[in-house]
Amino acid sequence: MRSSRFALVVLAAALGLLPAGVAEAQSRPDVDFIASRLKADDFKVRTNAALALGAVPQDDAPRAVQPLCDAINDPSEVVRQAVAVALKRLSRPAALGCLRARHGQEGNETVKLQLTRAIEAIEANGTSAEPASPPEPKANPNAKFYVAYSITNNSGRSAGEAETLVVNPMRSKFDAAGTIQIAPAKETPDAARSVLSKRKLKGFYLAVAVDPPTYVEEGGGMSLKVKVKVAVFTYPGKDLRGSFDKGLSQNVGKRDKAAEDRLIAMASSLAFDQFAQSASQFP
């Protein structure tokens, strides 16, 4: 009952139905409960939940970003628009990766406009260079594989930007696969061995490298090319088991940072999808 009451207060605030200061006067909203409503069957409930997450206090904003990024590919155009509005309002640099990735594939012009506004608003705040602080990995009781990772950033982006462009697609693909548990950051080898033994999982370490975006003159135009490379090791032992890369290109009229970011996020998504589909084939 308490969680429901908090959610209603925040939903009302997000929709402008409460006078200024009323929501803040209530107890803190239950971010996890509101986020769970993003998976409701009714698109209206999902829309309201997205707007509610965009209205949480700034102290809770980091926890609201990932659920919104997870919902940015919702089948409903109304929900996707609400997600973009919410992320713009939160104005957290950790949202740039999923916003740019969605922008590159969004077919609805109204939604695309909101995505553009969200990206521009976050960049205008001058916070896009701040390092992202990804949430703790979700527990997956059905996992078969246990995956740790590192990112070598040669992209020219800040560490926070590069990690966001890579980590958000990774989490999305691994969650969708349903067979992968991401290891906590800075986990000790002994802790990893304990988890692997208790849960009978197979461990992998992914060394991800983002190459610098390159531009090539072609037939009077310009082609932008990006590449994300993945080396697959055992974990925690880190014996090499294989490697692959994903490259993408796009014709552009000039150097375009937003296009670079979209391609990096898309190449990351393709790379992690390939790993998720073929993890059982690595020795």
Domain limits, the chain: 2-124, 145-281
Q: Does the domain at residues 145-281 carry the CATH identifier 3.30.160?
A: yes
Q: What pairs with residue 246 in β-bridges?
A: 228
Distance, in Å, from the CA atom of 216 to the CA atom of 209, rounded to the nearest integer, reads: 21
pLDDT at 203 over 70: yes
What per-residue confidence (pLDDT) applies to 14?
Answer: 43
pLDDT at 180 over 90: yes
Q: What's the average model confidence in pLDDT over 195-211?
A: 94
Cα angle, residue 259 at apex, residues 257 and 265 outer, rounded to 5°? 105
What is the C-alpha to C-alpha distance for residues 272 and 257, in angstroms, rounded to an integer?
A: 23
pLDDT of 80-103, one tens digit each? Answer: 999 999 999 988 888 888 898 888
Beta bridge partners of 224: 215, 250
- Position 138 pLDDT exceeds 60: yes
**What is the band of 179 on the pLDDT scale with cuts at 50, 70, 90?**
very high
Residue 126: what pLDDT?
56
CB 82 within 8 A of CB 14: no
pLDDT of residue 155: 83
Higher-confidence position of 128 and 52: 52
Q: Which residues contact 13 (CB under 8 A, 6 or more apart)?
A: 22, 23, 52, 55
Residue 219 pLDDT grade (very low, low, confident, very high; cuts 50, 70, 90): confident
pLDDT tops 90 at residue 281 = yes
Share of the chain above pLDDT 70, in %: 86
Helix (H) or strand (E) holding 247: strand 240-252
CA distance 266 to 228: 10
Count of alpha carbons within 13 angstroms of residue 143, beta-carbon side? 24
Cα angle 41, 97, 184; round to 5? 80
| Strand residues in 201-239 grouped as ranges (E) | 202-210, 214-218, 221-234
Q: Which residues contact 283 (CB under 8 A, 6 or more apart)?
A: 241
Q: Which range among 92-96, 115-119, 274-278, 279-283 shows the weakest confidence by mean pLDDT? A: 92-96
Cα–Cα nearest to 176, from 206, 138, 232, 211:
138
Q: Is residue 194 left, alpha or beta, with left meaning phi > 0 and alpha meaning psi from -120 to 50?
A: alpha
Alpha-carbon torsion 110, 114, 115, 117, what sign? positive
Model confidence at 12, pLDDT cuts 50, 70, 90, reads very low
Residue 8 has pLDDT above 60, yes or no: no
Across 120-124, 159-163, 249-253, least confident range: 159-163
Cβ count near 156 (within 10 Å): 12
User: Which string of DSSP letters, residue by residue, matches 90-147?
Assistant: HT-GGGHHHHHHHHTT---HHHHHHHHHHHHHHHHTT-TTSPP-PPPPPP-TT-SEEE
Q: Identify the helix (H) or strand (E) that includes residue 180.
A: strand 180-182
How many CA atoms, within 13 angstroms, populate the side-chain half-sphere of residue 205? 17
**For the residues 236-261, what does the mean pLDDT come to?**
90
- Candidates 3.40.190.10, 3.20.20.70, 3.40.50.2300, 1.25.10.10; CATH matching 2-124: 1.25.10.10
Q: What is the pLDDT of residue 128?
A: 42
Q: What per-residue confidence (pLDDT) applies to 243?
A: 94
- Give the pLDDT confidence of 20-66 residue by residue, as tens digits: 343 443 445 688 888 899 999 999 999 999 999 998 887 778 888 88
pLDDT score at 24? 40
